[in-house]
Amino acid sequence: MNLLEKINNHQAVVGVVGLGYVGLPLILEFIREKFLTIGFDIDTNKVDLLNKGESYIKHIPTEKIKNAKDSGLFQATSDFSRLSEADCILVCVPTPLNKYREPDISYIEITSNTISKFLRKEQLVILESSTFPGTTEEVMLPILEKSGLKCHKDFYLAFSPEREDPNNPDFTTRTIPKVVGANDSYSLELTKSLYDKVIVSTVPVSSSQAAEATKLLENIFRSVNIALVNEMKIILQRMGIDIWEVVDAAATKPFGFMPFYPGPGLGGHCIPIDPFYLTWKAREFDVSTRFIELAGEVNTDMPYYVVQRVGEALNEVEKSIKGSKVLILGMSYKKNIDDLRESPSLKLMDILGEKGASVDYNDPYIPELWETRKYRFNNKSVELTPENISSYDAVIVSTDHALYDWESIVEHAKIIVDTRNATKYLKNHREKIYKA
């Protein structure tokens, strides 16, 4: 039985490398369709939890992991020699930026080298990590061919960008259409057939480079438009005009406008990072990406603008940032999840600390901060009692979790700096609220 027949008969073994916010939901979809799966991760703690049937991601219930384990269709492992058991290997590893805001594809390179040691004939390798156009063919392919096997002949290679939006109530891994691209017609057919089994719709494109560029365009589009409303926010705040009111009013136009909303900065694994992947690659072709870079500058500056507004709010009560106690509400990069990646709340904590403030945080999804790529905070979430809230000189709304009782928070806070318009429906104590 060839690989295409195995896929179409649900007899292909699916291996997923990287069991985080992208890889774990994906593997659960394959289990749902009765594929035998193997999850690979270098983090032995994650592996142990999964093999016990426990979840470590807040919005993925433990019950789902337990059901996956009990089905007999799933095993997690840190033994990468078992890659040879998988017919299809999906690579979902991080692609951050280095300190110079240049692509760091070391995780892709390391994973590719590992796969090459155990690669066999009739295997399909699919990269899902967001990256610059050409990574699949120019970086992964030659590393995988160190195995002595020929790509698109002995084994197959493709790119399919992840489109995961953690805890989105309207769209899931299964219901978000999947772009697939490969530089060989059979590799593309295999990839499309595989995802057709678990995703509502697949969108084939002509090459892996086109698929890679698709992912970047999606997130550059969002980055640029968010930068636009962030810049509008600063302008309109000076004019005494509420940006959120303006966006909501503009959104009533049934054509030619799509609402984007300002915030304290960009967070998550894609939007703050992906634009710089294209900027870096464009240099190879002597192309300047001024528009993309300008948007990046605007969004990167937003935490500094928020701190400026905190300073202005404290100044109204004859206080300075230095020596003040500040509470940040929400550390995750968006509401109702436990994901810290690139969260602007971390930057806010860093800037305020450098300016001499004593900074605490509360986040119902993140009981304590862990080391990230940039920061090594060891803070723990403080309890959100009326007494605690009233003890701070300023409270910053950085992430508007649905669990927060805004009326109580505003009632007991001395000053509220609201970066998310979370307090828009409140009628009482509005004199305490400063928009940022």
Q: So which residues are the catalytic ones?
A: 270
Sign (positive/negative) of CA torsion 376, 421, 307, 278? positive
What's at 373, amino acid-wise? R
Q: How far apart are CA 326 and CA 394, in angstroms?
A: 5
Q: Tell me if 342 sits within 8 A of 333, measured CB to CB.
A: yes
Closest listed residue to residue 211, CA positions, set 231, 187, 230, 233 = 187
From the CA atom positions of the chain, what is the Rg in Å? Answer: 23
Q: How far apart are CA 262 and CA 230, in angstroms?
A: 5
Return the SS3 of 432: helix
Could you say which DSSP state residue 340 is in?
Answer: -
Helices 290-316/208-239 angle, 10° precision: 30
DSSP string, 137-170: IIIIHHHHGGGSPPBTTTBEEEE------TT-SS
Which distant-in-sequence residues (6+ apart) come within 8 Å of 283 by Cβ?
none
